Amino acid sequence: EPHALDLEDLVMHFGPVRAVDGVSLTIPKGRVTALVGESGSGKSTVGRCVVRLVEPTAGVVRIAGADVTHLSRRRLRRHRGAVSIVFQDPAASLDPRMLVGEVVAEPLRLSGRRVGRREREARVARELERVGLRAEVARRYPHELSGGQRQRVSIARALISEPMLLIADEPTSALDVSVQASVLNLLADLQRDIGFACLFITHDLSAVEYLADDIAVMYLGQLVEKGPREQVFARPAHPYTQALLAAAPVADPVRQRRRQPVLLGDDLPSALDPPSGCRFRTRCPLAFDRCAREVPAQVPFGSGMAACHLVQRDGARPDVRAADTS
């Protein structure tokens, strides 16, 4: 059975900016992969390549086994393994002149399939109810709704075409903290009920703890670690993943006390001129001479991989907490 998504060596350069630089990733049907990284790591660009908001510079994008790398957006909408996207900011992504009902129904129109008015209204009502809104909301305008309600409308619109794959790009980070959890819960419930595959893009490792099956960690345009969620949380292999986890807020007070000081003091280097060798070396507390000379290979680690000279196939891994950071 084909995977929901296969990325093979995806490259996206904007002029001299190497936003995405060789990303390979597979999402099986019905599974959720969290793509984690700081802002500027290129993770949103990966999502935009998948839905063809931008055309990749090189590499292959396969959805449901079919190569869609060079399909137009219009052709992609009509493709059998549909893909939808939910953006960070619902205020910016919803057309303010359209009624909510028209917003939600739009993908049906764009799919090129004829859908009668009755069926369209019934499906809009069903989608609105599925995301926890009343069907009457269809006759309101987006600006009459709260931020959380607007993001629910975006989710309803994304799901009405019954996509095999949903791209969720920081779907809660523009929302009030008070509604973030309810929107994340909604996405998790919908994913369990409907079973779409999901690429969940986020800068926040703690947000993926109960939503993701797998985690992929991105740094300056490249993946530095991939693995099942439990493995990445329990035994992070790459120093960058370890630093991200150490900086993440942890609910458990016992673990909280063992929290390490933030290790990522400096900003992300520029994707215009990434460091030689290992791109993380300018911030890595464990960097040594080889790291500047040699690009680390992707080493199999548990059921995943990590790209660091100190990670071993036999499961040995570096420990950033042991580094002398004085």
Residues making contact with Mg ion (CB under 5 A)? 44
Q: Is 299 among the residues that bind ligand SF4 (CB under 6 A)? A: no
Interatomic CA distance for residues 155 and 107, integer angstroms: 12
Q: Is 284 among the residues that bind ligand SF4 (CB under 6 A)? A: yes
Contacts made by residues 184-193, CB under 8 angstroms, sequence distance 24+: 184/211, 186/131, 186/132, 186/152, 186/155, 187/155, 187/211, 190/130, 190/131, 190/155, 190/159, 191/32, 191/166
Q: Is 81 among the residues that bind ligand SF4 (CB under 6 A)? A: no
Burial of 252 (0-12, 13-18, 19+ CB in 10 A): exposed
Q: Is 244 among the residues that bind ligand SF4 (CB under 6 A)? A: no
Are residues 256 and 263 in contact, defined by beta-carbon separation less than 8 angstroms?
A: no
Q: Say which entry of ligand SF4, Mg ion, none residue 232 contacts (CB below 5 to 8 A, set by partner kind).
A: none
Q: Say which entry of ligand SF4, Mg ion, none residue 239 contacts (CB below 5 to 8 A, set by partner kind).
A: ligand SF4
Q: Is 278 among the residues that bind ligand SF4 (CB under 6 A)? A: yes
Using left for φ > 0, alpha for ψ between -120 and 50, and beta otherwise, residue 195 falls in left
Give me the sheet containing 165-169, strands edge to edge.
83-86, 165-169, 197-202, 32-36, 214-219, 222-228, 304-306, 299-301
Q: Which of 69, 281, 299, 301 binds ligand SF4 (CB under 6 A)?
A: 281
For residue 295 the two structure tokens come to: 């690009």
What one-letter code names the amino acid at 318?
A: P
Total interface residues for ligand SF4 by CB under 6 A: 12
Q: Say which entry of ligand SF4, Mg ion, none residue 44 contacts (CB below 5 to 8 A, set by partner kind).
A: Mg ion
Q: Is 317 among the residues that bind ligand SF4 (CB under 6 A)? A: no
247 three-class SS: helix
Q: Say which entry of ligand SF4, Mg ion, none residue 291 contacts (CB below 5 to 8 A, set by partner kind).
A: ligand SF4
Tell me which residue of 259, 257, 231 sits closest to 245, measured CA to CA.
259
Q: Is 286 among the residues that bind ligand SF4 (CB under 6 A)? A: yes
Q: Is 305 among the residues that bind ligand SF4 (CB under 6 A)? A: no
Q: Is 239 among the residues that bind ligand SF4 (CB under 6 A)? A: yes
Tell me which residue of 246, 219, 218 sits closest to 233, measured CA to CA.
246
Give the residue with the Cβ less far from ligand SF4, 229 or 238.
238
Question: Residue number with the shortest CB distance to Mg ion?
Answer: 44
Residues contacting residue 77 through CB under 8 Å, at least 6 positions apart: 107, 110, 111, 112, 161
Cβ 174 to Mg ion shortest distance, Å:
11
Cβ 299 to ligand SF4 shortest distance, Å:
10
Give the residue with the Cβ less far from ligand SF4, 34 or 291.
291
For residue 294 the two structure tokens come to: 């040699």
Cβ 238 to ligand SF4 shortest distance, Å:
6
Cβ 297 to ligand SF4 shortest distance, Å:
10
Binding region for ligand SF4 (CB under 6 A): 239, 278, 280-281, 284, 286-287, 291, 296, 308-310
